[in-house]
């Protein structure tokens, strides 16, 4: 099959955004989605948050000092960046643009502030917000994960209300109650968007051919 081309002459890769309050299960869902859909590239963010046990530089995050992050902001390397739970996080502009330019689908696991910034520059992105089934279950998952101190967990729980208040800004909302159901829902969104994008690209290709052929 030939590479799909849009009317703007760009190759069609889709930018997916997945956001959720801490502990809702976003990373677990995204990792399982990537196993099912290996053609999607996950963007690895830069962060000033210290690594959790087991987290690897370049795989989970690019862990940087605050000063380096500020320098990178000044250099304009981020497509979006935000302060979340007292740490700074940012998405590399070049990585995302290179991948999209190669026609790859790219997934960003970012917060609602980053999603709002991306929508301004890339309105055709597709955003999904993951909700926990209840506050009790959110707290149980955060504590059960065992990755953060009590203080960090309290802060994340406190901030979750402010994050959930932005859920309606997203294209889709998925409740992560039964894991397999939530994963099926996320995969269904990806597949539906791909089908739509493929149809659009084919329509554009036909139009381009027609315009080029006309006298
Ligand atoms: N805006 C923005 N948010 C990010 C980025 N990377 C991660 N985040 C968000 O920062 C928040 C905290 O992430 P993390 O420290 O990994 O904790 P977790 O969500 O509890 O696993 C989550 O909402 C992430 O989605 C990024 O590059 N930009
Ligand atoms: N549907 C689910 N049911 C029960 N536990 C879940 C479910 N989804 C995720 N979890 C667990 O909840 C915890 C938090 O998940 P995680 O993916 O780290 O959340 P987030 O990335 O949103 O902060 C993990 O221990 C994970 O295994």
Question: What ipTM does the predicted assembly reach?
Answer: 0.98
How far, in Å, is the centroid of ligand 1 from the Cα of 84? 7
Question: Looking at the CA of 116, which ligand is closest?
Answer: 1
Whether residue 82 contacts residue 88, with contact meaning beta carbons closer than 8 Å, is answered with yes
Domains of the chain and CATH, by start? 15-43+105-213 (3.40.50.300)
pLDDT digits 0-9 by tens, 154-210: 999 999 999 999 999 999 999 999 999 999 999 999 999 998 888 777 777 788 888
How far, in Å, is the centroid of ligand 1 from the Cα of 89? 7
Q: Classify burial at 172, counting beta carbons within 10 Å of its beta carbon; exposed 0-12, middle 13-18, buried 19 or more.
A: middle
Among 28, 128, 156, say which to mutate for ligand 2: greatest number of ligand atoms within 8 Å of CB: 28
Query: What pLDDT score was predicted for residue 3?
Result: 47
Query: What pLDDT score was predicted for residue 198?
Result: 80
Residue nearest to ligand 2 atom 13, measured at CA: 141
How far, in Å, is the centroid of ligand 1 from the Cα of 195? 29
Nearest-atom number in ligand 2 for the CA of 26 is: 22
Whether 57 is in the pocket of ligand 2, judged by its Cβ within 6 Å, is no
> Which residues are part of a known binding site for ATP?
20-27
Query: What pLDDT score was predicted for residue 40?
Result: 97
Encoded tokens for 154: 């309290």
pLDDT digits 0-9 by tens, 84-101: 999 999 999 999 999 998
Bridge partner list, 57 = 61
Query: What pLDDT score was predicted for residue 1?
Result: 39
Q: Classify burial at 32, counting beta carbons within 10 Å of its beta carbon; exposed 0-12, middle 13-18, buried 19 or more.
A: middle
């Amino acid at each position: 099959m030939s590479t799909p081309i849009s009317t703007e002459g760009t190759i069609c890769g889709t930018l997916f955004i997945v956001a959720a309050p801490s502990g809702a299960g976003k990373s677990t869902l995204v990792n399982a989605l990537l196993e099912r859909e290996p053609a999607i590239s996950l963007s690895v963010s830069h962060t000033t948050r210290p690594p959790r046990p087991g987290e690897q530089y370049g795989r989970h995050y690019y862990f940087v000092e605050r000063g380096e992050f500020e320098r990178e902001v000044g250099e304009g390397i981020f497509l979006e960046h935000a302060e979340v739970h007292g740490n700074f996080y940012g998405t590399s502009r070049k990585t995302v643009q290179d991948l999209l330019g190669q026609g790859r689908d790219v997934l960003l696991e970012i917060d609602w502030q980053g999603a709002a910034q991306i929508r301004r520059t890339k309105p055709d992105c597709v955003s999904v917000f993951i909700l926990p089934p209840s506050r009790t279950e959110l707290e149980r998952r955060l504590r059960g994960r065992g990755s953060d101190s009590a203080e960090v967990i309290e802060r994340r729980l406190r901030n979750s209300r402010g994050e959930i208040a932005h859920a309606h800004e997203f294209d889709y909302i998925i409740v992560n109650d039964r894991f397999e159901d939530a994963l099926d829902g996320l995969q269904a969104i990806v597949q539906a968007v791909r089908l739509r994008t493929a149809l659009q690209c084919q329509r554009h290709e036909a139009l381009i051919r027609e315009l080029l052929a006309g006298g």
